[in-house]
Amino acid sequence: MKIDNIPFGTTDWSTIARTEHPGITGQAFWRTQQFGDIRVRMVEYTAGYTADHWCSKGHILLCLEGELHTELEDGSQHVLRPGMSYQVADQAEAHRSTAPKGAKLFIVD
């Protein structure tokens, strides 16, 4: 990732419009800012959320609240709790997530 041509700024996430993204079960609510090629999101998953797809996009993800369960295509399971993060490159390992108890995440991709 190369970050350029973005002047200093602050984001009050409470002022960013929220969009709804249904999963197989539960909902994801995104607040999204786009800075050139870089997408930055504050994402909230409701309790019981299950992603409706395998994702191959690269992310840097920080768990702020709740608990995120992520499965890789190889079957390995990973759990993030507040203060934990993961990173994965584009097209590296497809992954899908669930949030049995709900979760709030900060994601850069």
pLDDT of 5 reads 86
- Diameter of the chain measured on Cα atoms: 41
The rounded distance, in Å, linking the Cα atoms of 86 and 2 is 19
Region 24-45 average pLDDT:
96
Q: Is 1 a residue whose pLDDT tops 70?
A: no
Region 31-36 average pLDDT:
95
Structural domains present in the chain: 18-108 (2.60.120.10)
Region 101-109 average pLDDT:
97
Region 49-78 average pLDDT:
95
The rounded distance, in Å, linking the Cα atoms of 79 and 61 is 12
Q: What is the pTM of this model?
A: 0.91
